[in-house]
């Protein structure tokens, strides 16, 4: 396509000229037409249509002192979890009439909001180190934390889910209903606060049943299929025995199942497996995975609402924690 750059933009002055009015009037029409004569509105709209005029967002943003944009900072784009989160953020954002900017920190770990191009930012809290979150919070940009925990010294609103309680209930169930006693745990990613909370819930349930947390098998799941698969393979090679593997998320639960199956073990007859999150795959896997459903999309939605509320009224809920739900499927030997 050898086309030239013929992109000569039409501005508000062009519209004003064609309509025979001032730019102020065009501006009023563009912004709803309050207090403009109906006849004038019609003329201006005609000119706008004729010229296919679309306002320049940068100029509007500069004049209005607001970008009408929020940005979402995540660690990485991709995967089911992210996908659901983005969906929630995108819907809420567009419903509120804001634009949505996406940043990924994974490939750019020192990411520090280079510009001032949004009115506020939703930070997937596990995507930034505490220092960076603090820096954002102390800078001149309203922040809402999504998932994770609020670092000490930070007072940005936080929207998250019941990580600790969900893990507690799940473990409780495995202990009381299934009567399992030999547990193995696959930790989540380092520095991931949700992972820590889940681990605490798990630990709490064990302790309450008189089991020593440290005596159970523990390994790194890293929220990754590959890692957990290797870890579990090692466990089996070393002859470790367990009734059930509790993974800090569904991805590592799946890695565990792959490893078990590769070793010729049956799930759940030989070893049961449970996860956390209830990603799409959990329902489809064979056997279907017992897990804890997390309202990912809804929490994202709520985070945006909080941010926008803050932008409009200067305040927001300090902490909102959405409930989780136990989802019993075959992998835990329950049905």
Q: For a copy of itself, what does the binding mask look like between residues 178 and 217, x meaning CB under 8 A?
A: ----------------------------------------
The torsion region of residue 288 among left (phi > 0), alpha (psi -120 to 50) and beta comes to beta
Quick one: CA dihedral 239, 240, 244, 250, positive or negative? negative
82 binds a copy of itself (CB under 8 A): yes
2 binds DNA (CB under 7 A): no
Give least dist CB 47 to DNA, A.
12
104 binds a copy of itself (CB under 8 A): yes
Give least dist CB 113 to DNA, A.
13
298 binds a copy of itself (CB under 8 A): no
For the purposes of burial, counting CB atoms within 10 Å of the CB of 326, is it exposed (0-12), middle (13-18) or buried (19 or more)?
A: middle
Q: For a copy of itself, how many residues bind (rule: CB under 8 A)?
A: 67
Interface of this chain with DNA, residues 98 to 157, rule: CB under 7 A: 116
240 binds a copy of itself (CB under 8 A): no
13 binds a copy of itself (CB under 8 A): no
3-state SS of 151-202 is CCCCCCCEEEECHHHHHHHHHHHHHHCCCCCCEEEEECCCCCHHHHHHHHHH
Interface with DNA (CB under 7 A), residue from 17, 42, 45, 55: 55
Give least dist CB 39 to DNA, A.
7
- What's the distance, Cα to Cα, between the start and end of the chain in Å? 60
Give least dist CB 26 to DNA, A.
7
> Which two structure tokens, joined as six digits, stand for 277?
């999150």
| Helix 12-19, helix 23-30: angle, nearest 10 | 110
Interface with DNA (CB under 7 A), residue from 49, 50, 62, 79: 62
Kindly report the number of other CB atoms within 10 A of residue 222's CB atom: 23
Closest CA to 328 of 269, 283, 265, 266: 283
Report the distance separating Cα 267 and Cα 247, nearest Å: 14
Report the interface residues with a copy of itself, using CB under 8 A.
Answer: 1-10, 52, 54-62, 67, 69, 77-80, 82-84, 86-87, 90-91, 94, 99-104, 107-108, 113-117, 138-142, 155-157, 254, 280-281, 284-286, 310, 314-318
């Amino acid at each position: 396509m050898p086309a030239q750059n013929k992109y000569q933009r039409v501005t508000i002055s062009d519209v004003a000229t064609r309509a025979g009015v001032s730019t102020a009037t065009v501006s009023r029409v563009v912004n709803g037409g309050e207090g403009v004569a109906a006849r004038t509105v019609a003329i201006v709209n005609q000119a706008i249509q004729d010229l296919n005029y679309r306002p320049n967002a940068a100029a509007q943003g500069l004049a209005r002192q607001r970008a009408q944009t929020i940005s979402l900072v995540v660690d990485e784009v991709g995967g089911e979890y992210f996908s659901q989160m983005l969906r929630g953020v995108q819907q809420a954002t567009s419903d509120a009439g804001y634009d949505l900017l996406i940043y990924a920190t994974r490939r750019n770990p020192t990411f520090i909001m280079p510009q001032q191009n949004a009115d506020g930012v939703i930070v997937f809290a596990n995507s930034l180190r505490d220092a960076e979150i603090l820096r954002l919070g102390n800078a001149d940009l309203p922040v809402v934390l999504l998932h994770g925990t609020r670092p000490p010294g930070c007072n940005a609103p936080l929207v998250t889910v019941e990580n600790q309680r969900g893990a507690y209930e799940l473990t409780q169930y495995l202990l009381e209903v299934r009567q399992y006693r030999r547990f193995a745990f696959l930790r989540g990613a380092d520095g991931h606060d949700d992972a820590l909370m889940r681990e605490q819930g798990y630990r709490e349930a064990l302790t309450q049943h008189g089991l020593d947390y440290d005596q159970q098998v523990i390994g790194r799941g890293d929220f990754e299929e590959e890692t957990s698969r290797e870890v579990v393979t090692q466990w089996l090679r070393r002859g470790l025995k367990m009734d059930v593997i509790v993974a800090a998320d569904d991805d590592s639960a799946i890695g565990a199942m792959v490893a078990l199956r590769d070793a010729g073990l049956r799930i759940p007859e030989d070893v049961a497996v449970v996860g956390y999150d209830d990603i799409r795959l959990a329902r489809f896997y064979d056997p279907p995975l017992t897990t804890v459903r997390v309202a990912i999309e809804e929490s994202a939605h709520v985070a945006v609402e909080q941010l926008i509320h803050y932008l409009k009224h200067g305040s927001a809920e300090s902490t909102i924690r959405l409930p989780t739900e136990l989802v019993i499927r075959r992998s835990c030997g329950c049905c």
